[in-house]
Amino acid sequence: MDPVEKLFQDLPTPEQDEAYIGEHGDWNRHRFCEVVMSVAVSRFSRSNDRDRLFIKRWVKTVKETGDADILRCMIGLFAIDKLPMPGNMSAKSRQLIYHAWIAKGRKDEDHPFKEKKPSETPQTNPTNVSHAYLPARLTDPKVCANCAAPDANHACSACLLKLDDSHVVAKTAYCNQTCQAQHWEQHKHQCHERRAFFRATSILYEIFMQFMKRAWVVQNITDISEKDGILHVTKGARQTHTVDDLLIRPFPFHKASSEEHGIAVLVDNQALMVLTTFQPLLNRLLLPICKTLEEVHIMPRNVHRPICIGQGMNNMDQVHTVLRATLKSGEQMLMDFAAPQFGWRETVAEWNTWTSHRSAGKTYPEPYGTALQTNNLLMPELAPAYLRAGEWQQGKIIKA
Ligand SMILES: [Zn+2]
Ligand SMILES: [Zn+2]
């Protein structure tokens, strides 16, 4: 059989892939690599067909590097360009439709193969659905916390968290001040803890952003712009490293089409940075107010605007790591400072609300501190990079 056809036929079907993510919280890299290896030994016909050359090239890359992620990303981007004719339901067409859907953000309302129940049909035109915010029906309760009456339009102002002065992140709803007063004994611990958590995370986020904006590790970005709902980052030729490159630089916001797009790129792939470099600050501000902290891995779903970096690394096929804080009241909160890379506006949210909309499958928790341990173990050179540059430059200065 033709190797390109065979590749698409042997890959896990969309249903198998989704079931695997549902069960494991990640896609089946092992199976993916097996299929690619079996295809890589077949003879590719000497065709100059562009698609064939493209697939052949990336199969070769996977064979050489063992990195299946890159092929999966490339199939996604290839699929966006090559959407098959409607009605063509060959194995290859289904794979392309499925991978294009993922590369564009794995949005519920665009799922290509799921029959929608009439009750699930969105009220609004699907093209108007924005996943920048969690849906208001999830974050803006209208039921009174005291008497469970509907249409509760009053809120506890102390623990009300809003974004951009409009979008509600967290809220406790009441009919009126009487209901609020009656509920206070029960609510006050939760209220204090939420306030403490929101204050701590807003300080942490501010420090994180200020640090990231100023301490950009030089990469030669030449352009950041959105096309068809994907943020494309173009990089220039790799620069040779000079003494100056070791210096930290401000992020090149002038290369981005907007500040928001710049911030998306700034925090892309930096989820672990929060849990490693910033851990001493997390310890100081979060540990005293939390019962437990956990690092949780998820596959992103309902992404507002995915990012493609350089050759086409799309951030939809990589596991995303966030922090889950269990407050002393038992309430669970999300902290996700790298959220803007997906176009998401909430960097904190109520945990179950967030995962019900943002996670494609099983969430996979690890103890707090795992990222730092792994980082120190696997990449000892990464953690002290700035320090070593400092010492080296100090050495130069002393010699001079
Ligand atoms: Zn009430
Ligand atoms: Zn409150």
Same domain, 197 and 88: no
Same domain, 98 and 212: no
Identify whether 132 is part of a domain: no
Identify whether 77 is part of a domain: yes
146 CA from centroid of ligand 1 (Å)? 5
Tokens matching residue 29? 């890299």
Identify whether 130 is part of a domain: no
Whose CA is closest to 162, among 192, 189, 205, 133? 133
Domain count along the chain? 2
* Strand spans (E) along the chain: 154-155, 161-163, 167-170, 173-174, 221-227, 230-235, 290-298, 307-309, 313-314, 320-327, 332-335, 348-350, 364-367
Tokens matching residue 170? 């967290």
> Average of pLDDT values for 278-288?
94
Write down the pLDDT at residue 44.
Answer: 65
Q: Compute the distance between CA of residue 250 and CA of residue 210 in angstroms, rounded to an integer.
A: 10
Write down which residue in 69, 103, 137 finishes a domain. 103
Q: Radius of gyration (Cα) for the chain, nearest Å? A: 24
183 CA from centroid of ligand 1 (Å)? 9
CA distance readout (Å), 374 to 139, 183, 275, 351: 34, 45, 11, 25
170 CA from centroid of ligand 1 (Å)? 18
Domain membership of residue 346 as a residue range: 188-378
pLDDT band at 384 (very low <50, low <70, confident <90, very high): very low
Identify whether 95 is part of a domain: yes
Write down which residue in 47, 70, 103 finishes a domain. 103
Q: Compute the distance between CA of residue 378 and CA of residue 57 in angstroms, rounded to an integer.
A: 29
Write down the pLDDT at residue 84.
Answer: 77
Q: What is the mean pLDDT of the chain?
A: 87
Percent of the chain with pLDDT strictly greater than 90: 60
pLDDT band at 389 (very low <50, low <70, confident <90, very high): very low
pLDDT single digits (tens) 188-217: 999 999 999 999 999 999 999 999 998 887
Residues in the 5 Å CB sphere of ion ligand 1: 144, 146-147, 149, 175, 179
Write down which residue in 103, 122, 138 finishes a domain. 103
Ligand nearest to the CA of 146: 1
167 CA from centroid of ligand 1 (Å)? 23
Same domain, 197 and 337: yes
Ligand nearest to the CA of 144: 1
Write down the pLDDT at residue 194.
Answer: 96
Whose CA is closest to 349, among 368, 332, 374? 332
pLDDT band at 49 (very low <50, low <70, confident <90, very high): confident
Asked if 209 contacts 174 with a C-beta cutoff of 8 angstroms, the reply is: no
pLDDT single digits (tens) 215-266: 887 678 899 999 989 999 998 876 655 655 556 778 989 999 999 999 999 9
155 CA from centroid of ligand 1 (Å)? 11
pLDDT single digits (tens) 132-190: 999 999 999 999 999 999 999 999 999 999 998 789 999 999 999 999 999 999 999 99
Q: Compute the distance between CA of residue 2 and CA of residue 100 in angstroms, rounded to an integer.
A: 22
Write down the pLDDT at residue 392.
Answer: 44
Q: Compute the distance between CA of residue 276 and CA of residue 279 in angstroms, rounded to an integer.
A: 5
161 CA from centroid of ligand 2 (Å)? 10
Same domain, 215 and 92: no
